[in-house]
Amino acid sequence: MFEIADQLLTALDAGAPVAVVTVTRVLGSAPRPVGASMAVVGGSAATQQRVLGAVSGGCAEARAHELATGVLAAGGVCTEHLGFDEWAFATGLSCGGQLRVLAHELDPSRIDLIAELRAAAAGRDAALALVSRGPSDLLGRVVTPTGGDAVLPREVLAAVRAELAERTVDGRCGSLEASGDLEFAVLVNRVRPRLVIVGAMDVAGALSRLGGQLGYRVSVVDARATFATNQRFPDADEVVVEWPARYLAATQLDRRSVIAMLSHEERFDIPALQVALAGPAGYVGAMGSRHTHTRRVALLRHAGVSAEAIARLHSPIGLDLGASTPMETAVSIMAEVIAARTGAGAEPLATGSGAIHCAVVPA
- Across the range 142-164, mean pLDDT stands at 90
Closest CA to 114 of 132, 133, 130, 128: 128
Q: Which residues contact 133 (CB under 8 A, 6 or more apart)?
A: 24, 79, 100, 139, 181, 182, 183
- Across the range 239-251, mean pLDDT stands at 96
Alpha carbons within 13 A on the beta-carbon side of 184: 26
Do residue 240 and residue 176 come from a single domain? no
Find the CATH number of the domain harbouring 237. 3.40.50.720
State the Cα–Cα distance between residues 161 and 92, nearest whole angstrom: 36
Do residue 155 and residue 257 come from a single domain? no
Closest CA to 35 of 153, 115, 126, 155: 126
State the Cα–Cα distance between residues 245 and 256, nearest whole angstrom: 19
Do residue 130 and residue 279 come from a single domain? no
Do residue 305 and residue 249 come from a single domain? yes
- Across the range 135-163, mean pLDDT stands at 90
Burial tier of 349 (Cβ tally within 10 Å: 0-12, 13-18, 19+):
exposed
Q: How confident is the model at residue 359 (pLDDT cuts 50, 70, 90)?
A: low
Do residue 170 and residue 29 come from a single domain? yes
Do residue 15 and residue 159 come from a single domain? yes
State the Cα–Cα distance between residues 2 and 273, nearest whole angstrom: 35
State the Cα–Cα distance between residues 257 and 244, nearest whole angstrom: 15
- Across the range 220-248, mean pLDDT stands at 96
Report pLDDT for 218.
97
State the Cα–Cα distance between residues 186 and 162, nearest whole angstrom: 12
Question: Per the structure, how many domains does the chain have?
Answer: 2
State the Cα–Cα distance between residues 107 and 141, nearest whole angstrom: 11
Do residue 93 and residue 207 come from a single domain? no
Do residue 123 and residue 138 come from a single domain? yes
Report pLDDT for 265.
84
The answer, yes or no, to whether residue 360 has pLDDT greater than 90, is no
The answer, yes or no, to whether residue 46 has pLDDT greater than 80, is no
Q: What is the mean pLDDT of the chain?
A: 88
pLDDT per residue over 95-105, tens digit each? Answer: 556 788 999 99
Report pLDDT for 82.
76
Q: Which of 151, 170, 189 is the last residue of a domain?
A: 189
Least confident of 16-20, 48-52, 283-287: 48-52
Provide the residue range defining the domain that includes 308.
194-342
